[in-house]
Structure 1
Amino acid sequence: MKIAAATTVHQADSHTYSANFQEGWTIGSVPHGGYVTACFQQVVRKHFDTTLQKQDQPHTITLHLDFLRRTQTGPATFTVKDVKLGRQTSVIHVSLRQDDREEVVGYVTNSNLDTETGVSYPTGWTIHPPPPPTDVSKLDSDTDATWGERKAWPFADFRKATQQIRSWFPRKGQHSPAIVDQWLSMWDPEDRFTNESLGFVVDVFPQIIESYLLDGLDCYSVQFERNHTPEESPTSLLYSIMRGLLRRQSIHDYG
């Protein structure tokens, strides 16, 4: 199932929306935190496309979610409160409930990135250390000299959400246990990343803390998969800042 279909939301009234969390997007029995975040982003987009259409602020620029309790697969209800409606930005509060339990709450700020203007300074900032070089055209065939595809993540049957993606990691290993470099695409070649799916993208990556708990052992080695049992690292908080829009057309998307 494509991520757009898996995160579909329906409007019940001007400030209430519903979704159905799918089995294939879970870690264990719990919906993946990034997947839940993507559903939040769909709610926000629909709210600004309908109820708050006159604001002309379709783009989320900041998002802060607190995961108070575990979610579950099945129906979910989102309630939106318009907190501050402004000319440049607007802030809303979104609450997720299942079976009368409030499980996730968040504040989201929207604006219009197509019309935004402002200052930009040449700070000289660069990524350090720089990521390994990549020939993106060779990722699909897994022939890039530097990056190799991990056909399945460890314990993929337990981490069902990881079956929705393809991942490439440095063939020589990560630069250090504190860094995770990866290329990522959806498994379905016709699926596309959108700004509304970025919550899933930023939350589906190897957990850095696992490398330290395992004394530097590569969590994606055969040795790890043979000698360890799966563990769940639940999302407790997710904060994201969006500084631009994804391109609307592409042959294949990688992140």
Structure 2
Amino acid sequence: METSKPMTPPSLYEALSVNIKCTQKGEYELLLPSSFCFGPRIFGGLVMSMVHQATESYFTENHPKFNQPHVISMQWQFFRQVYPSTAKLAIHDIHIGKSGSLLQATISQDGHACMMSLVNMANLQVSPGLTFKTDWKLDPPTIEASISSLAADCDPRWISYQTPYHPESFRRVQSYVKFYVPYEQQQSHIRDHWITPADPGVTFTTEMLGFLLDLSLPIIDNYLPGESTGGQIACIALGLEQKKDREAGITEVIDPSSGAFESPAVYLSLSTTIEIKKLMPARGAKWLFMRAYAKQIKDGRMSMEVVVFDESLDLVALSQQLCPIMELSRMKTSKESL
């Protein structure tokens, strides 16, 4: 049977390299392609990863003697939505120190500030200091998984799910990652997933962590099981359909509706903090484990934490997010400031 060839999104590597252009010291032009949109707006995780890349380049080029090549944390505030086009990034020194430094990064579009971050720089490969092993661990514990079985799509505890890519689909940005969802029903405030790049030629790098920490499957949909397509139960059902089609050799024609987001409500980010605890391997990583969980959902706001681990379940990064909850119909049409 002849099948259609799936559309593939533009390269994430390209977005983090050729789409960042230094125009003068501390100033950059960012090309924000529509393939990285969630609905009408640019996905904030992409911008955070682009700033990560640019600040490391800026600091290494302008302060080489301090040997602080790594972003170790970012504290973001979001004022206005960013749309597919170009944006300007301005980087300013706040404090340059012997063991750590602080930068300010501001994203603006059409003359208006949209996002701002304080960025801490240090050297994660040379960090002398006290180290103690704590007893902290995920609670509830992770569901057992075999990486080789996940890769072969045959782990009895996990099902793969991937958002189809179409340049006009609502949540096309999620097409960059293949998610693995547990069959075992979890508490509603938790979303666990193993993730791997949708493009087999890609690996996850340290610079991509901002992008990944903002990309978890939606928690709010677990509370709206009959009204959404993004909750755990819905993702399992869609994953099983995708697996059945693959086994039958069927590749469906991908249209904008196949990447739709059917839910009465979605959440954005008002503020986000990111801490990077461990560098990715130089060659990148193929597999990461991610848990997103809501600490509170109240009065139209959700307090959420996202943690990312490597294959050995060593902590790689974490993020705290304050998320206003919005009606989907308003998000599609409104360009108001948050």
Shift of 1:214: 4.8
1:1-255 matched pairs, under 5 angstroms: 1-8=10-17, 9-152=20-163, 157-173=169-185, 175-214=186-225, 219-220=231-232, 221=234, 228-229=262-263, 231-249=265-283, 252-255=286-289
1:31–1:250 Cα change, 3 Å: closer
CA distance in 1, matches of 2:143, 2:223: 22
CA distance in 1, matches of 2:127, 2:261: 52
Shift of 1:251: 7.3
User: What does the per-residue CA deviation read over 1:149-187, in whole Å, with 9 as the maximum and x for residues that have no partner?
Assistant: 0132799921010111111000223x2011111011221
Q: Which has the higher strand share?
A: 2
1:24–1:231 Cα change, 3 Å: farther
Query: Contact 1:64–1:108 at 8 Å: present in 2 too?
Result: yes
Q: How many residues align?
A: 254
Query: Contact 2:30–2:87 at 8 Å: present in 1 too?
Result: yes
CA distance in 2, matches of 1:2, 1:53: 30
Cα RMSD, aligned residues only? 2.7
1:230–1:73 Cα change, 3 Å: farther
CA distance in 2, matches of 1:22, 1:148: 30
SS of residue paired to 2:62: coil
Query: Contact 1:7–1:19 at 8 Å: present in 2 too?
Result: no
The one-letter code of the counterpart of 2:271 is L
What TM-score does the superposition give when structure 2 sets the normalisation length?
0.69
CA distance in 2, matches of 1:228, 1:187: 22
Tell me whether 150-159 or 34-43 shows the greater mean CA deviation. Answer: 150-159
SS of residue paired to 2:50: helix
CA distance in 2, matches of 1:126, 1:232: 29
What TM-score does the superposition give when structure 1 sets the normalisation length?
0.90
SS of residue paired to 2:288: coil
Query: Contact 1:27–1:232 at 8 Å: present in 2 too?
Result: no
User: What does the per-residue CA deviation read over 1:115-154, in whole Å, with 9 as the maximum and x for residues that have no partner?
Assistant: 1111122332221111101100121221111111013279
CA distance in 2, matches of 1:20, 1:124: 44
Give the fraction of aligned pairs with identical amino acids, expressed as a percent: 22
Query: Contact 2:203–2:285 at 8 Å: present in 1 too?
Result: no
Tell me whether 223-232 or 113-122 shows the greater mean CA deviation. Answer: 223-232
Query: Contact 1:45–1:196 at 8 Å: present in 2 too?
Result: no
Stretches of structure 1 lacking an aligned partner (at least 5 in a row): none
Query: Contact 1:158–1:230 at 8 Å: present in 2 too?
Result: no
SS of residue paired to 1:235: coil
Query: Contact 1:33–1:234 at 8 Å: present in 2 too?
Result: no
Shift of 1:29: 1.3
